[in-house]
Structure 1
Amino acid sequence: MQILTLGINHHTAPLSVREQVAFAPEMIQPALHHLKDHLANVSETKLPEATILSTCNRTELYCAANDAHSTHEQSVLKNTAIEWLAQSRGIRSDELLPHVYVLPQSQAVRHAFRVACGLDSMVVGETQILGQLKDAVRTADEAGSLGTYLNQLFQKTFQVAKEVRGNTEIGAHSISMAAAAVRLSERIFESVSDQKVLFIGAGEMITLCATHFAARKPKLVAVANRTLERGQELADELAEQGLQTESLRLSDLPTRLHDFDIIVSCTASTLPIIGLGMVENAIKTRKHRPMVMVDLAVPRDIEVEVSRLNDVYLYTVDDLGEIVQTGADSRKAAVGQAEAIIETRVSHFMHWLEGRGTVPLIQDLRQRGDDLRAFEVERAKKLLAKGEDPQAVLDALAQGLTNKFLHGSLHALQHAQGEEREALMKILPGLFRAHHSDK
């Protein structure tokens, strides 16, 4: 079985590329079915297992494929998967290829472990990625594309993440994206407590951001969401902290955007929610008082042209990178400890994976042994039924089993020559060494 990971992330691709290949949550299950069908139709490679991880910083395919052991087969699997990713997201392969990394076997295992531990994140040590990875695995399981190999890989991945969290201080000095959004706002406004803040969306990231901004006690907090009920629910949670809150519909944004000084957006929309014209109108109504806009969505919620407006300070997930790197020196020791744990666990997993390769042979040997035993036992029963001496029948049974058990090895040894014969002479004594543990 060949395990393969390929994808792009914030290390290899700019936001403009990442947003083109991102998958909305509801798209992933159909995409998994299409990926498996595509590989089956284009090549002879069978792909019984696949998982798609898509976040603001990465889109990755985790695959486990049969019949992909040779260099040629692995190349076919890699090229076909890249072609599928490009086609499914409406981007040319040659545009995507410079940003793609392909990681086979132990490299793929190591990468999964590092991702889950937050070592491959923009915010080193962050924990949100672990939840996102668990969601991706759950979706793959529901789609029927999570089999023995990927299931084992991800279960080990989650165990490694827990071990790293429990035995290192990898997250002790991390600054979250949510905290960075607050810091960016405070660069423009002296005090967040004097500002009105609008959150667009009501998912996990927006909830985290709202919690950080709430600690600054802004003048007003509003939540605009596709479903008014979920937006109201988050607004009510913030109101319990003594804040003045309200909830809006997304359709209210054109007439209400000018009311807010800080806008933080993170939705799963495939198209921008806030366009250039909407922001231009808001700025005119505000008489050019500045606005801070933080777009944490991939694909982006706010049109990129908005960044050209003089009175708007627009930040994306990539713009937050410099801030979240604060404390990197303090994390170096913890990162080293985490990497050491990961290397040990990679070795353990690869040992398990290599052992799985012997399972068909073990099953075949057991079946052959059962067939030999059944044959000799049946012959012994017939002899007993004829009235033969039981002791003689038992001796014959034992002798028959012994002869059949040794036949293959003795025949191979007698006909082997040179290095093959020497190798057999070293191996066979160990295979037939008597065990005395029960004596």
Structure 2
Amino acid sequence: MQLFAIGINYRTAPVALRERVVFPLEQIKSALQALNATWGSNGLSNPHAGLPAETAILSTCHRTEIYGAALTGNASSMQASMDAGYAQCAARWLSACRQIPFSELTPHLYTLPHSSAVRHVFRVASGLDSMVLGETQILGQLKAAARAALDAGALGAYLNRLFQHSFSAAKAVRGQTQIGAHSVSIASAAVRLAQRIFERLSSQRVLLIGAGSMIEVCAAHFAAQRPHALVIANRTIERSLKLAERTNGRAIALASLPARLHEFDIVVSCTASVLPIIGLGAVERALRARKRRPVLMVDLAMPRDIEAEVAQLQDVFLYTLDDLGAVVQKAHTQRQTAAIQAEAIIETRVERFMRWLDARRGAPAICKLHEEAHRLRSAALARAQQRLACGEDPKAVLEAFSYRLTHTLLHAPTRALTQAQDEERARLVQLFGISA
């Protein structure tokens, strides 16, 4: 069994492309089923090419990655099959699924085979591959991806073990290093941007659109600055009301947004909408009503909630996830020592997992060895029982039984020692635990 990962992330692709390959969590199950059907239709069900027995998809604001475990003969055949089959197949499936030209997508994809894939998953879970070094939200997203794969029937022993080890590695990194100290989150970066643009946040009116985990964090950060008004807008008014109660804010219906957008100096949006919810025309009308007073707009959604053309308006400061990423990068220096320690922990955990994987690779041979030993034992026992049934002396029968069984079991090791050269013989002697 060989593991692999194929993906696209914030380092390899701009937000305009990443938002086109996002899979909402509720779509993961059907996507996995479609992907698994694609392997077979592309001839990858051939035992010599390998069969992806297990797959999972992780899709967040910063990355969309496909993880898989494939039945192959050895690592070299895995690499060949990945180059010729899996990477191409996954890329073409993603291209067709998200209606992106193949030539446009492939330059931004990366392919990681076996141990590199294991190391990558461990680093992702631990926040070492995140835009915000050491952030913890990705761990919950990875756990959700594992549950989605399980629900889709695509998670087996190997990927499940990989995920469980990655969760354990993340816990060790968090507990044994200061990777999370002095961290600057996307939410706090949004507050910092607001503080640069406006002299006092206590005089500003803040609108948060959405009610998910990201907006909850943003609400806590902005509420700490005691703005003049903090308003939550969401399609489900009940969720807006609950979040507003916790942050001393107010809730409004999302449908009222076009008529009230002009009231707000700061707008932060992060919904699961597949289409923009704030268009260029709506912002232009709001600016006229504001008499050209500037407005800060922060789009944390993937796909984006605010039309990209809004950034061209003179009195709008529009920031996306990638823009805020540049802000959080400045805090990375303080966490580099912790990151080095975390990488060492990761390497230890990767080695431990690879040893388990190697042991699993030998399991079929070990099973066959046991089966053969039991076959020989049964044959020798049957002969002994026949002799006992004929009335022979039990002591003599047992003596013959033990001698025959010992001789039979030692036949293969004895022949190996006889035929081996000096270095190989020494290795076998050590392996068998005997003194030459």
TM-score calculated relative to the size of structure 1: 0.93
Match of residue 211 from structure 1: 220
Does structure 1 conserve the Cα–Cα contact (< 8 Å) formed by 2:273 and 2:303? yes
Aligned-partner residue type, residue 53 of structure 1: L
Aligned-partner residue type, residue 13 of structure 2: A
Match of residue 138 from structure 1: 147
Match of residue 340 from structure 2: 336
Q: 1:350 aligns with which of 338, 351, 354?
A: 354
Moved more, 208-217 or 79-88: 79-88
Q: 1:110 aligns with which of 96, 113, 119?
A: 119
- RMSD over aligned Cα, in angstroms? 1.8
Aligned residues: 426
Does structure 1 conserve the Cα–Cα contact (< 8 Å) formed by 2:293 and 2:315? yes
Match of residue 47 from structure 2: none
TM-score calculated relative to the size of structure 2: 0.93
Match of residue 232 from structure 1: 241
Match of residue 67 from structure 1: 72
Moved more, 159-168 or 320-329: 320-329
User: Counterpart of 2:67 in 1: which secondary structure?
Assistant: strand
Match of residue 2 from structure 2: 2
Q: Partners of 1:102 and 1:132 in 2: how far apart?
A: 21
Match of residue 291 from structure 1: 295
Match of residue 276 from structure 1: 280
Task: Map 1:156-235; keep pairs closer than 5 Å.
Answer: 156-235=165-244
Aligned-partner residue type, residue 20 of structure 2: Q
Confirm or deny that 1:91 pairs with 2:100: yes
Q: Partners of 1:350 and 1:200 in 2: how far apart?
A: 44
Q: Partners of 1:330 and 1:402 in 2: how far apart?
A: 65
User: Counterpart of 1:21 in 2: which secondary structure?
Assistant: coil
Confirm or deny that 1:267 pairs with 2:271: yes
Q: Partners of 1:346 and 1:412 in 2: how far apart?
A: 34
For residue 422 of structure 1, report the CA deviation from its aligned partner: 4.9
For residue 425 of structure 1, report the CA deviation from its aligned partner: 2.8
Deviations 1:7-55 (A, max 9, x none): 1111111111111111111111111111111012202331111111111
Q: Partners of 1:62 and 1:136 in 2: how far apart?
A: 10
Deviations 1:143-194 (A, max 9, x none): 2211111111111111111111111111111111000001111122111111
Aligned-partner residue type, residue 305 of structure 1: E
Moved more, 138-147 or 208-217: 138-147
Q: Partners of 1:124 and 1:256 in 2: how far apart?
A: 37
Match of residue 34 from structure 1: 34
Match of residue 52 from structure 2: 47
Confirm or deny that 1:391 pairs with 2:395: yes
Deviations 1:366-390 (A, max 9, x none): 1111111122222222222222211
Q: 2:254 aligns with which of 250, 253, 266?
A: 250
Confirm or deny that 1:321 pairs with 2:325: yes
Structure 1 stretches lacking a partner, 5+ long: 240-244
Structure 2 stretches lacking a partner, 5+ long: 45-49
Q: 1:182 to 1:431 in 2, by over 3 A?
A: closer
Does structure 2 conserve the Cα–Cα contact (< 8 Å) formed by 1:24 and 1:270? no
For residue 403 of structure 1, report the CA deviation from its aligned partner: 2.5
Moved more, 164-173 or 379-388: 379-388
Moved more, 58-67 or 42-51: 42-51
Q: Partners of 1:89 and 1:77 in 2: how far apart?
A: 18
Does structure 1 conserve the Cα–Cα contact (< 8 Å) formed by 2:417 and 2:428? no
Q: Partners of 2:264 and 2:338 in 1: how far apart?
A: 40
Match of residue 242 from structure 1: none
